Amino acid sequence: MAPSATETTTLPTRTAETSTVKLTANIGPYKELAPIGYKKEVEEEGKDGFKAAKYPHYLPHWGDEKYPPLEPFEHRDHGLDADPAFPDLLGPGVVTSDLTPTIGTEVTGVQLSKLSPAGKDQLARYVAERKVVAFRNQDFADLPIEEALEYGRYFGPLHIHPASGAPKGYPEVHLVHRGAGDKTAETFFETRTSSVAWHSDVSYELQPPGTTFLYILDVPESGGDTLFANQVEAYNRLSPAFQERLHGLRATHSGVEQANASRAKGGIVRREPVIHEHPIVRTHPVTGEKALYVNPQFTRSIVGYKQEESDALLKFLYDHIAYGADFQVRVKWAENTVVVWDNRVTSHSALVDWKSGQRRHLARLASQAEEPFETPFKA
């Protein structure tokens, strides 16, 4: 049931300030970063037995540009203005198939690029309700990049990732790219047993992304799926007494380790890293649902707790989310697929499990949303 107008539109005054941090040589507990280079002759021309990249204008570029700190802004979610019957999104001829009862839907028969403003509003609400939606047979990757960016901006200012490659001239596009012939994953698995790394994208920002788009450019023959966890259902599974105990707690989210990892590999850092505090239980501004908002990649400690206390509670929450296969979904990529998810109420992890040497190339648009906020506990 949707919250009242007060709950959905009145956000708290900002209290978490950007922290001054000192970077050290310690990389910390951060997942494997994508490669910071590729073989130009393979990706652009197609050599060594590989075809050229299908979308060479989406190949990553690493410049030396620097950006100032992000500025706060007011955000009103378009889902608040949507018709909950979704007539402009799920009209005649559209077929939906829920992948699980609580998270994940596949949709065919609608072209995202052709949606009206009303349809886009309904898209925001539908994704908030289903958490992650895979739209098949889309033309999104074939749009001029500027048109794709304009589409994403409808849902909020597009986040510029501080440490990833981007198409030259389009820093708002975050690229997930492992080139043909690349075998760096093999080195990763020499010291790690799994590539699973649950996270909510850039949760260290003051206003992390909400509605997020990821579209495939080149897909391996098999593998390379993405896992998603429903953080709302993860919260709902907890006992009322435990839920109540979590309310009021805040945790720090840090971008320092990500910056350290990029610098250690000779990569870029476009913006100096920040640390912000966010509630451990956040409320979605449209649905009113409460969700756990912690992840092992960026969450560091619970404010006011001693380290051992914080570690113990966070480990329980991380394990609860990671082991919750009954509130997770696995999205399989296919050509012309666009996956849209709500980054506020989900965690996700890529899977590095495809045949070594095959290309995997995707583009992400992350629309920033409101500062995470919490509404009072209700038993």
Banded model confidence at residue 372, pLDDT cuts 50, 70, 90 = very high
Q: How far apart are CA 305 and CA 325, in angstroms?
A: 29
What integer pLDDT is reported at residue 355 of this predicted model?
87
Tokens 């990892």, located at residue: 261
What integer pLDDT is reported at residue 325 of this predicted model?
97
What integer pLDDT is reported at residue 19 of this predicted model?
37
Percent of all residues in the chain with a pLDDT value above 90, rounded to a whole number: 82
Structural contact between residues 104 and 120, judged by C-beta atoms closer than 8 angstroms = no
Mean pLDDT of 136-165: 97
Mean pLDDT of 240-264: 96
What integer pLDDT is reported at residue 192 of this predicted model?
87
Q: Which CATH architecture has domain 5-368?
A: 4-Layer Sandwich (3.60)
Residue 62's contacts (CB-CB under 8 Å, 6 or more residues apart) are: 36, 37, 165, 267, 268
What integer pLDDT is reported at residue 31 of this predicted model?
63
Residue 30 to residues 207, 261, 299, 325, 349: CA-CA distances in angstroms? 21, 7, 11, 23, 13
Residue pLDDT, tens place only, 336-364: 999 999 999 999 999 999 888 899 999 99
Q: How far apart are CA 343 and CA 348, in angstroms?
A: 9
Say which range, 23-32, 219-228, 260-269, 339-348, has the weakest mean pLDDT.
Answer: 23-32
Banded model confidence at residue 311, pLDDT cuts 50, 70, 90 = very high
| pLDDT greater than 60 at residue 321 | yes
Mean pLDDT of 280-292: 98
| pLDDT greater than 90 at residue 86 | yes
Helix, coil or strand: residue 66: coil
Banded model confidence at residue 239, pLDDT cuts 50, 70, 90 = very high
Residue 295's contacts (CB-CB under 8 Å, 6 or more residues apart) are: 198, 199, 200, 203, 318, 321, 347
| pLDDT greater than 80 at residue 96 | yes
Q: How far apart are CA 143 and CA 223, in angstroms?
A: 26
What integer pLDDT is reported at residue 356 of this predicted model?
82
| pLDDT greater than 50 at residue 21 | no
Residue pLDDT, tens place only, 109-148: 999 999 999 999 999 999 999 999 999 999 999 999 999 9
Mean pLDDT of 215-235: 96
What is the overall mean pLDDT for the chain? 91
| pLDDT greater than 70 at residue 2 | no
Per domain, the residue ranges of the chain are 5-368
Query: 0.85 exceeded by the pTM?
Result: yes
| pLDDT greater than 50 at residue 18 | no
